[in-house]
Structure formats: C-alpha cells, structure tokens
Amino acid sequence: MPDENMVASATERFEIALHTSAGQVTAAVDVPTGFVPVSAIVPLMHRLGGEAQALELTRLSEQGKAPSCQRGCAACCRMLVPISAPEAFALRDWIRSCPIDQQTRISARLHDVKAQLLSHGLWPRLAEFSEEGRQVDDQILEDVNRAYYALRIPCPFLEDEECTIYEHRPAACRELLVLSPPDRCADVIKNPVEPVPVPIQMSTVLGLLWQELATTSTRLIPLPLILEWAERHEQEREQTWGGTQLFDQALEKLWRFLSQSVSGNSTSNVR
C-alpha cells in the first residue's frame, strides 16, 4: 500500500533492494508520476529508514540485546534535533493542518523556546546553522549542542512527557535509541550512553537531496527554527518535481550514503 502523501492518480512501482550494515531491505513502493513537492518523499524515506532500523534491532535481539527506551521516557527530548529541509517542510505542513487551538499551543511553545535561546545567546548561532553558504565547523556544532543540552529545554512538541508528533517525528528522533540503562540518559554528557547503530541516517540523505534540488549548501535545520525557516523558504516549499525523478534522486543519495558507510553496498531499483 503506498504512503498516503505519495498517492497520485498515476503511479509507477519500484522494487527496491538496499544493502545496509544491518542486512538487506527489500520493498515495493508506488511513486506518483505527476508533480509533487519535496515533502511528499519524506514518509517513504522514513519508512525505508525504519525498515533498516528494524533489521538492526533484530540483529541485536539475536545477541540478547534490546533498546532500553520505553514510552514516557523523554530524556532525549531535551537534545538539539537537526532536521532536513524536506522534513521541515513536511512538519510545517502538518502543523498547518492541525486545529487552530493546537497550532496556537505549538506556536506558543516555539516562541517560549526562542525566548530562552535568545536569553542565552544561542538563537543567533542556531539561525546561522540553517542559512545556506555556511559550513559549520564540527567543534562549533559540538559546543552549541552541549550548550543547548545544558539548558534542558523540552522539545516544543512534547506534552506530558510524550511526543505529540510521533507519527511525523524527524528521522533524527526515530534513529535515537540506546542499549544502556535508562538512568544514564539523565545526563548523557556525564554518563555516555550506548546508542543503537543506525544503518541509514535518513536526515543526512534528505539533506543531500535538498542540496541538489535547491542548489544550496543548507543541509540541516535546528528543530526550534522550523516554522521561521519554512516561512522564509515558502517559494521553495511550493516547488514541485516529477515524482519518479524525485524518487530516483533520493535513491541516488541513499546509495551514496550507503556506499560511503558500508564497503560494497549498493542500491537497486527495478520497475
């Protein structure tokens, strides 16, 4: 069954085999042949990343290991979450589809987060990260990540310690699982955790796709900035591409990622 955001009057079926560090992911997907925005590719790419992660969890289970993450544990929801431009557009569209009262609550929480970040001098630095033409030094990014985490600011989409956008959450959130005891997550700086390996970092793949489509250096946007960033890039959000062309380009970026992360891996698709 095709993802609901990918449904169109005419579709083309792709048979995909992805060779990842966790094993081979196989899937049949129906891609629209008409024109769609880049956000339309997001649910499908999240699905492929989720299937790769499921293989990794199966592999770990065979070794007697399992994630310690449980519903209601929101320690990681105080970290700075980077998302790709396609995910930012998709999440913006979801917010705008919500009832007005829910949109108001989300906007208020985003405003509160911005106020806290401004008071600590972090907002301008995060804004720089989301602008094109700027390559962020790894050490600078690490320093900002630590400073953000030290504030323990709850994610603006967190209510009563539960994620309100769980089905629409970014790839970075989907991929963050740990094997270490949950009490270590109270302070991951003092108590480093053991993460579950991630076969496909889908936010990176989608970021590479956006770089090519928009001919920009922007790859990842800090989550608290998504609405402001999406509003500044409204014209790009409204752009459309042929569905099969878009999917082909996404697969090419996925192949590039896998070929760099696992020797000998390849991505194939048969129509």
Q: Please write the tens of the pLDDT for every residue from 6-31.
A: 444 588 888 989 999 999 999 888 88
pLDDT score at 141 = 83
Q: Is the model's pTM score more than 0.75?
A: yes
pLDDT score at 107 = 94
Domain span at residue 170? Answer: 4-270
Q: What is the mean pLDDT of the chain?
A: 88
What own/partner pairs with CB < 8 Å and gap ≥ 24 does 122-131 have? 122/147, 122/148, 122/151, 126/80, 126/222, 126/224, 126/225, 127/225, 129/220, 129/221, 129/222, 130/218, 130/220, 130/221, 130/222, 130/225, 130/229, 131/218
pLDDT digits (tens, 9 = 90+) for 81-112: 999 999 999 999 999 999 999 999 999 999 99
Domain count, the chain: 1
The ranges of the chain with pLDDT < 70 are 1-9, 132-136, 262-271
